[in-house]
Amino acid sequence: MKLVDFWACLPGEWLFERNISNGLHQTGVLKVEEIDSTLCQAHETGRYTDSHQVFFRNYRFEWANDSLNIFGENPKEGFVLLHELSDAKKWHVHKCNKDFYEFELHEVGEQRWHTVITITGPKKALQLVTEYKR
């Protein structure tokens, strides 16, 4: 699937399951609202399945120059660029403190997609696999 097609079907509500390599498991909802033809805002809410602990995060998805830019909200800095993706490169690495975050996007179709985030460094060594579906 081309990234522009993924962008077109991104708005809406997505259920997700996230498996973390440390044995934790999360479930939740990602709600994506189209602001205009180049910007979507998103809110992820969920819980850890083995406890009542909840979590949330705000995102922005931006379509610019045939690229998908994903921003995450940081309480101290506002929205910061996390990932830059294109049809030629559907993965991105960024550094946070001393750890490296490698993000991979796998579009399965209009009704499913998943991400893999591999974190390596002196403070963290995790993999998060998240499956999204309508």
- CATH number for 128: 2.40.128.120
Reported pTM: 0.91
Q: Quickly list DSSP for 33-93.
A: EEEETTEEEEEEEEEETTSS-EEEEEEEEEEETTEEEEEEEETTTEEEEEEEE-SS--EEE
Domain, as residue range, for 48: 3-133
Q: Looking at the predicted structure, is the pLDDT value of residue 25 above 90? A: yes
CA gap 119, 126 in Å, rounded: 5
For the cut 90, the answer to whether the pLDDT of residue 131 exceeds it is yes
How many domains in the chain?
A: 1
Query: 36-68, pLDDT tens digit by residue?
Result: 999 999 999 999 998 889 999 999 999 999 999
